Chains A and B, each alone.
Chain A
């Protein structure tokens, strides 16, 4: 029993998915072709759909696994997670509407490139020790709160936390810029993402040409080797170009 179509993204009509790749609910992937575009879809299983929502961790992983695998060989415009159409005809509405005229051009721009995402964070312990070393006030406040509960020393804790967060922000800004500068020569596009935690340093998505991947990897390695004592590095990819499609 089908509960509709899960729509992963937009591809060209000749797109091929890797052999054996399955999608949400372990269903096979299909293409709906219209002129010079195609939709990458799979049928949803009504029993597996539960309350009519997609909420299982497997669903999230299926979404990105499919898109990342397809993107390794084809240009693809990823849709937001959870885009569901009633049937084939309903799904075609994705290809209509105001922004759709640019889909073909966007696909061509993404041909031959892969997205990678570099996540850089301060090594928390190392940076905290640095700050305690540099700021006697931080050391004093730390001694003040040692062995006390949160209620007892709430004001001192807020003051210490603010001091630490501000210090991290100050340390971060120059670092991010210098890393971006080293990435720019080996990528075709770059998109910095909002940081979420005070100890984040850089969260950046890049597009890399297939034939430049080794140079890009080497550049990331150089960046990490110079900074590994204070930071941790995590490189995701190859991925679908989640950060490089225009929101509509």
Chain B
């Protein structure tokens, strides 16, 4: 990439995460429905992923989602900004190591897709 190294090079904001190619979770989203499909070829299928493709595309507005967001709201710590109280810390660690106390409650669908291809250590939670 030809950019000047000195002076006017813009400083990258710390508010934007720039992981380059992205984590495995980001890659899964690309894999699911991008790129040209050539009819003449039977694509080698990714075990389990194609079944999840259809569900993963829909913004879920279902009872399951409502229950998850209700629980996230239930667990929300109203008194600290960014803080977590002990009970939510414990439940967060018990589930999937989610950094954010509310994430465990609502990431069910997306985690289902990621889980098909990742182990917990490879998963990269968003900031």
Contact = CB atoms under 8 A, between A and B. Distances in A.
Most buried by A among B10, B30, B66, B106: B30
Interface residues on A, range: 35 or more
Interface of B: 1-3, 9-10, 12-13, 15-22, 24, 26-28, 30-31, 34-41, 43-48, 56-61, 63, 65-74, 76-78, 81-82, 100-103, 106-107, 109-110, 117-118, 122, 126-127
B67 A64 contact: no
A82 B65 contact: no
A25 interface: no
18 contacts: A79-B38, A81-B31, A124-B106, A128-B102, A131-B73, A157-B67, A160-B69, A161-B69, A197-B110, A198-B59, A198-B106, A217-B10, A220-B16, A224-B13, A233-B15, A234-B126, A236-B26, A245-B36
A37 interface: no
A34 interface: no
Contact of A217 (B12, B48, B126): B12
Contacts of B3: 213-214
Interface stretch (A12-20, A48-56, A174-182): A48-56
A74 interface: no
A248 B23 CA distance: 28
Contacts, number: 230
B41 A221 contact: no
Contact of A164 (B35, B69, B118): B69
Nearest to B10: A218
Give 3 nearest A-B pairs by CB, closest first: A161-B66, A221-B13, A242-B34
Given A81-B46, A194-B59, A198-B65, 17 more contacts: A57-B24, A64-B21, A79-B35, A79-B37, A81-B43, A82-B43, A99-B36, A129-B76, A161-B67, A196-B58, A196-B60, A197-B106, A200-B59, A234-B19, A235-B16, A239-B30, A248-B39
B36 A246 contact: yes
Given A60-B24, A224-B13, A224-B15, A158 B47 contact: no
In terms of DSSP, what is the predominant structure of the interface of chain B?
Answer: loop
Interface string A2-36: 00000101000000000000000000000000000
Contact of B66 (A119, A125, A157): A157
Given A57-B24, A80-B43, A84-B44, A161 B68 contact: yes
Nearest to B57: A194
B18 to A, nearest CB: 5
Contacts of B126: 119, 121, 232, 234
Contacts of B15: 221, 224-225, 228, 233
B21 A65 contact: yes
